[in-house]
Structure 1
Amino acid sequence: MALKWTALGALPSIDMKPDYFAGEYLAVAGAHDDRYRDAIANGPNLHTFLSKFEGSHGQRLRPSLLIRSDAYPERPNSEAISSFMDIVIACVVLDVRVRTVTWRRNVGPFYADSFEIYPWMITPDGKRLVAQNAALWAVHELDKFRGTASAAVPVQEVGREATHPRFFKQLHAIWKSHFIDGQDGWTSRAILRSLKMATSALRLSSPTGSTESFYDYGRILSLWVSAFEVLVHPGSTGKATRQRVLDLLKTISWQSKMMQEATHQADFGGGNVGNVRLANALYVKMHDLRNDFLHGNPVETEKFRLDNGTWILSYPAAIFRMALSTMLPDPDEVTREQALAGEKTREEYWQHLQAARYRDDCEECLLAAVKRQPADDK
């Protein structure tokens, strides 16, 4: 029996092209998705509501939708919705951040702000509009409504990427276990909490992006370090430490020799300077900068620059993507040995390589931290 889908909110700043950011209970769908059309059919005046959205310069928009199915036992609470959106944001924005560094140009939604759910939504009976958040509770009429996308971020397309479906499947399994099945394991909770911190770190550094300061960069860096610490926290048996994060980063299976070699200096304090892998060295610098900012110690802008002139904030997304993927079970992984032995087909192996392409992207991104950069980057 087909599921019935109902709209929960509009996302006017993204044009969602793929149909795989969906589970049995919640989905983010674009206008070409059958579930989107089902939600339109099931929502009185929803089509009219969506037709009233425009860009800041009058261009017509077709907002994507956050939708739920009738398989959900009841209307999902705000925590479940927020966590689901964190998963979608991680799948899209982390990879965009990584590729923007390697391709030297923006390649999609760069900020989590692009996925903001519009505060106004039509009621289930289609008779009026309601806005409800921490700052606003209001009711209005549909015929007077004019919807707009965010003025701070551009409306951007979310394209089809081979690396996204498996990542979403892995994260969604944790979300479902926690919010649907009621299994409150510590590791699952830590991952979902860590994603929340990462989403905050991926937002604009200021509400409009036009009044940011050096201190906003420190706040963002602090959120990134917190995301790593939440990820490795052992629960009631201990606490998150810099060493726990470094131990996790040591378990990452880097492919290139430059990423594997422990040839990068890291200052551990008290005159203790050691050689570690590149990702570990970058994290030590991030951690020290975070401590200086949060403790009010003197910090200069140049502290955010690495020796080759690149910004330290260019690299947390790649390290976090790899750390998170290292922690997630991957039941769909296909090894070269399995393909050679005939246990898996060449096509299955090829699909696995495409889904794991993010590893190459992350390594290329992190190597930009030590490679010589063009003069215009310095």
Structure 2
Amino acid sequence: MTWAPIYVLPNIPLDAAIGCNLAVLAPAHDERVTALKRAHPNFRAFLRRFTDNFGEKFEPCVLLLHASAPESFRHVSAIASFRDAVAIAAISHARAHQLSHPRGMRVLFGEAFAIYPWMLDRNFEDIIGSTPALLGTHLVSSFKGQSSPSVFRTNLNPSAVDQPLLDALLICWRRRYEAAEPEWKDIALMRSLNMAYQASLLPAGTEATFYDVGRILSLWVSAFEILVHPGGNGISNRDKVFDLIEQAPWLIRASRDLAHDTGPAKKLVKRTLASWLYQKLNDSRNDFLHGNPVERDSLVLEIPQRGIFEYAAPLYRIALTAFLPLVYDRPQPSADEPSALGAWLADRMTFTDPQRSAEAALQTVLQPPLDPLAGHTRVTRPAPQNGPSQ
């Protein structure tokens, strides 16, 4: 058996497989999954026993691990890190597009990538349920799987994934779990992705309050801080996150402008809009976690009238751009080679487009909201004294 099914994910319909040569998320129609269904009737029966909450049948996608994967990749931490990388590459990209073009159905929350707690055993006989709250076995014939009642099963196609980011993350993922003694940078990245995935989940269910949103913001700030922690007895803080963000290889001129006041009121420093946004996240985290007085309006940005949590994922992409770093470094062919030059330009555009989308998303913090009746931006109150200037 070349590929082994490890988990199923019932909340995310896929057009095509996503992953690498060691691990993939594959739709049920993928040839690797169909081969497993032919070889193991119980596996086919298991996949066919899923419905949504209204009885519509579907087959979930499957997380597959290649037989050549070292034993360390079979540990739950490695598998979860793979899922985290895929989820963040998809969600950060979707959030960026949602800010710039707020329409359509997109994968915006981590529940889409939730791993189902029940799965067939290695012998394809019975199903095993395993979470911190349960451990049990049962018969496939009695099983009735369901997708989450909290999110739509929104289709994800390859173009909706930030592929340059995912490729870079999976290189680090492989290096982290192959190494007998992994580097701190790779450990920090996997920990940060784990926190970012948790931050991408719904704040709560039907009973969600703005306190729940504040908690989610706190997880996002933690994801940033883990990235910049130097290891050992070192510390991570807001200024180190500023330093990381400022290193990003900006593609939009306005993104690199040092025009926005950050820092304490008595010692303001001009930094990029991205750093200003991170300070807003950090200040909100401090207020919520320290029990300071908070109001619902504190989560809404003045000019765009959007929730600040909407900007966290694209901003995290900027931090990852600087951390990895994500730079297109293929040498440019000579103008005497028009075919090679054209291919190079197309490849560079494909590589830089997600970064440009993230930067454009952050720039919407300077844009008043659209008037749904008039179809143009409407005038809002001016920005606060230490806010972004237009």
Do Structure 1 and Structure 2 share a fold, with TM-score over 0.5? Answer: yes
Does the C-alpha gap of structure 1 residues 285 and 330 become closer, same or farther in structure 2, counting only changes over 3 Å?
A: closer
Secondary structure (helix, strand or coil) at the match of 1:235 reads coil
Q: Of residues 252, 255, 258 in structure 2, which corresponds to 1:256? A: 252
- Check conservation: 2:90, 2:160, Cα contact below 8 A: no
Q: Deviations over 1:267-302 (max 9, x none)?
A: x22522333211111111111111111111111211
* Distance of 1:364 and 1:73 partners within structure 2: 40
Displacement of 1:360: 2.0
Amino acid in structure 1 at the alignment position of 2:367: K
Label 1:149 to 1:85 Cα distance change in 2 as closer, same or farther (>3 A): same
User: Are 1:334 and 2:310 an aligned pair?
Assistant: no
Gaps of at least 5 residues in structure 1 are: none
Task: Kindly tell me the number of residue pairs found equivalent between the two proteins.
Answer: 371
Give 2:124's aligned amino acid: G
**Partner of 1:27: helix, strand, or coil?**
strand
From 189, 192, 198, the counterpart of 1:191: 189
Determine the structure 2 residue equivalent to 1:226: 222
Q: Which of 229, 232, 238 is matched with 1:236 structurally?
A: 232
Aligned to 1:69: 66
Is 1:222–1:290's contact at 8 Å kept on the other side of the alignment? yes
- Other-structure match for 1:53: 50
Q: Within the alignment, does 1:216 sit opposite 2:212 as a pair?
A: yes
| Corresponding residue of 2:2 | 4
How far off is 1:156 after superposition? 1.6
Q: Deviations over 1:232-267 (max 9, x none)?
A: 11112521011110011111122223222222233x
CA contact 1:25–1:71 (8 Å) conserved in 2: yes
Q: Secondary structure at the match of 1:302?
A: helix
d(CA) in 2 for partners of 1:225, 1:10: 30
Q: Which residue of 1 aligns with 2:242?
A: 246
State the one-letter code of the partner of 2:174.
Answer: K
Identical counterparts, % of pairs: 29
8 Å contact kept, 2:111–2:151: yes
Q: Match of 1:185, as an amino acid? A: E
Q: Tell me whether 1:101 sits opposite 2:84 in the alignment.
A: no
SS for the counterpart of 1:66 is: strand
The amino acid that maps onto 1:69 is H
Contact 1:4 1:38 in 2 (8 A): no
Q: TM-score, normalised by structure 2?
A: 0.89
Quick one: distance in 2 between partners of 1:339 and 1:233? 42
Q: Which is further off, 309-318 or 190-199? A: 309-318
The DSSP-based 3-state class of the residue aligned with 1:158 is coil
1:42–1:22 CA distance, 2 compared to 1 (3 A): farther
Question: Aligned equivalents of 1:163 and 1:64: distance in 2?
Answer: 16
8 Å Cα contact 2:8/2:116 also seen in 1: yes
TM-score (norm: length of structure 1): 0.91
Aligned 8 A contact 2:50 2:144 in 1 = yes
In 1, the alpha carbon distance for the partners of 2:87 and 2:44 equals 26
Aligned letter for 2:5? A
TM-aligned CA distance change 1:257 to 1:329, over 3 Å: closer
> Which of 253, 276, 279 pairs up with 1:284?
279
Q: What is the CA-CA distance between 1:70 and the residue it aligns to? A: 1.1
DSSP 3-state at the match of 1:14: coil
